[in-house]
């Protein structure tokens, strides 16, 4: 492996570039007038899609580890989460800086007044502390609190999916797929066996949750 600690460390830079591909594709299409009739809407939809996909991918890491036994997958989680935040930021920037162009005074009003924008903006806000505390140093410093704080990602993902669901006019098939994936990943986290045992033995109290 030479300069890398192990194989994962060697793959990581490639994985980083892979996560940048959607952005490169967007930039390429923008420069080549390949975004179609309504380029601003395209930029918004595609950056938003990738924010959601990467957020769901982040939430899929734990189930993936448990199901496959490939525990090293955890080492990709932070990068996935940070890229989800990155694409959400690109998405918000395109909306605020390009789409609203010339009508910036509407921005705060729109965030407050339009439920789907309120949800999307809240999701982005929730991701900020998670991005800031994503470093090793922060993990050490926050200890147990780190895990509690990072459970915010579940709420952010739910808000993000609802943001998509709410803006659609009539055909809900695509956002419902995202919602289905999210629900699947959340249901997997419910400790069904422990839950069953606890209920059977009549004990209550805090249940362990797989994070």
Regarding 187 and contact with other proteins (CB under 8 A), the answer is: no
Q: By CB neighbour count within 10 A (0-12 exposed, 13-18 middle, 19+ buried), where does 72 fall?
A: exposed
Cβ proximity to other proteins, 24 vs 209, nearer residue: 24
Q: Pick one of 11, 12, 23, 39: the residue that binds other proteins (CB under 8 A).
A: 39
Residue entry with tokens 């997958």 = 73
Per-position x/- string for 106-145, each x denoting binding to other proteins as judged by CB under 8 A, each - no binding: x---x--xxxx-----------------------------
For 166-200, give one letter per residue: b (16+ CB within 10 A) or e. bbeeeeeeebeebbebbeebeeeeeeeeeeeeeee
The span from the CA of 32 to the CA of 42, in Å, is: 14
The span from the CA of 179 to the CA of 183, in Å, is: 6
Binders of other proteins: how many residues, by CB under 8 A?
A: 28
Regarding 5 and contact with other proteins (CB under 8 A), the answer is: no
Regarding 98 and contact with other proteins (CB under 8 A), the answer is: yes
Closest distance of CB 124 from other proteins, Å:
18
Regarding 63 and contact with other proteins (CB under 8 A), the answer is: no
Regarding 102 and contact with other proteins (CB under 8 A), the answer is: yes
The span from the CA of 26 to the CA of 166, in Å, is: 24
Contact residues toward other proteins (CB under 8 A) are 30, 33, 35-41, 43, 98-103, 106, 110, 113-116, 166-167, 169-171, 173
């Amino acid at each position: 492996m030479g300069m890398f600690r192990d194989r994962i460390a060697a793959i990581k830079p490639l994985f980083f570039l892979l996560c940048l591909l959607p952005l490169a594709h967007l930039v390429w299409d923008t420069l080549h007038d390949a975004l179609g009739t309504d380029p601003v809407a395209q930029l918004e939809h595609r950056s938003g899609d990738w924010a959601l996909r990467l957020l769901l991918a982040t939430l899929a890491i734990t189930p993936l580890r448990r199901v496959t036994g490939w525990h090293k997958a955890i080492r990709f989680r932070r990068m996935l989460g940070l890229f989800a935040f990155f694409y959400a930021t690109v998405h918000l920037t395109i909306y605020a800086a390009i789409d609203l162009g010339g009508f910036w005074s509407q921005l705060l009003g729109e965030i407050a007044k339009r439920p789907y924008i309120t949800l999307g903006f809240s999701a982005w806000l929730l991701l900020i502390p998670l991005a800031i505390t994503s470093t090793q140093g922060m993990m050490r410093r926050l200890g147990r609190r780190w895990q509690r704080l990072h459970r915010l990602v579940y709420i952010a993902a739910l808000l993000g999916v609802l943001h998509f669901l709410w803006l659609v006019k009539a055909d809900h098939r695509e956002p419902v797929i995202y919602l289905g994936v999210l629900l699947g990943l959340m249901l997997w986290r419910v400790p069904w066996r422990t839950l069953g045992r606890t209920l059977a033995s009549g004990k209550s109290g805090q249940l362990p949750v797989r994070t």
